Homo-oligomer: A and B are copies of this chain.
C-alpha cells in the first residue's frame, strides 16, 4: 500500500486522521467509458487516480458536451466530493477515458478531517485553485481562439497523451471535447487534410505535419 505517496499532505496529518483514512479507503477499478461521477446526484468522495485517465465535462440541455479538465496518473479529483461544499452549484460528469484504478476517500471521512485540519483544508483550496486555473484557460480558449487553433491544439495534446501520431478517435469525440458539432469538426479536419496537416481514415486521425499544426495552434 503506497497510498500515502499519492496524498501530498499525508505527513501533516495526525495519527488518528491517517488511521481513519487507511481504514476507510476504497480501491476501485473502472473500465473505460464508466461514468465515475454524475453531477449533483452523486457524492462519492475524493478520487485519487492511481493509474488511468478521467475526463470531467459538462452537458448542455441539448446533450452537447465540453471537456472541462482531464485527470491522469497521480491526479486528484475534488469535484466527485463537491456535495461537501455548499457553494458548488454546477454539475460535472466524470468519465473514465481509459481503464482506471482509483483510491477513494469517502466524502464524510474527508469532510470531517478537513474541518479539523488546516493543512487538509488548505490542500483542498489548492486543488480547487488548480482546477480553477484550467477553467480560466478554457474560457480564454473559447473566447479568444478560433476553432481551427483549438482543434490543432487538441490533436497535439492527444498525441502527447497517447504517445502516438496516429490517434484512434472519432470526429464526434473531438467535437465533444471542444464543445462543437461533429459536422463542424469533420469540415475542419478535411480542411486540415487538404493542407497536409493530417491524414484521415475510418476511426483514425494521423498527424502528418506536426510542425504545421503547431504553427497553427500558436498563431
Whole-angstrom distance between the alpha carbons of A132 and B82 in the complex? Answer: 12
Minimum CB distance partner of A113 in chain B: B118
Whether A89 is near chain B, meaning CB under 8 Å from some CB there, is: yes
Whether A43 is near chain B, meaning CB under 8 Å from some CB there, is: no
Contact partner of A124 (CB less than 8 A), chosen from B61, B125, B136, B140, is B125
Note all chain B residues with C-beta closer than 8 A to A131.
132
A133/B90 in contact, CB under 8 A: yes
Whether A117 is near chain B, meaning CB under 8 Å from some CB there, is: yes
Find residues 81-140 in chain A having any chain B CB closer than 8 Å to their own CB: 82, 85-90, 114-118, 120-122, 124-133, 135-140
Whole-angstrom distance between the alpha carbons of A66 and B131 in the complex? Answer: 20
Min CB–CB distance A198 → chain B (angstroms): 25
Note all chain B residues with C-beta closer than 8 A to A126.
85-87
Contact partner of A142 (CB less than 8 A), chosen from B90, B124, B143, is B143
B85/A125 in contact, CB under 8 A: yes
Whether A41 is near chain B, meaning CB under 8 Å from some CB there, is: no
Whether A162 is near chain B, meaning CB under 8 Å from some CB there, is: no
Whether A58 is near chain B, meaning CB under 8 Å from some CB there, is: yes
Whole-angstrom distance between the alpha carbons of A153 and B86 in the complex? Answer: 25
Whether A64 is near chain B, meaning CB under 8 Å from some CB there, is: yes
Contact partner of A122 (CB less than 8 A), chosen from B58, B90, B121, is B121
Whole-angstrom distance between the alpha carbons of A88 and B135 in the complex? Answer: 11
Min CB–CB distance A112 → chain B (angstroms): 11
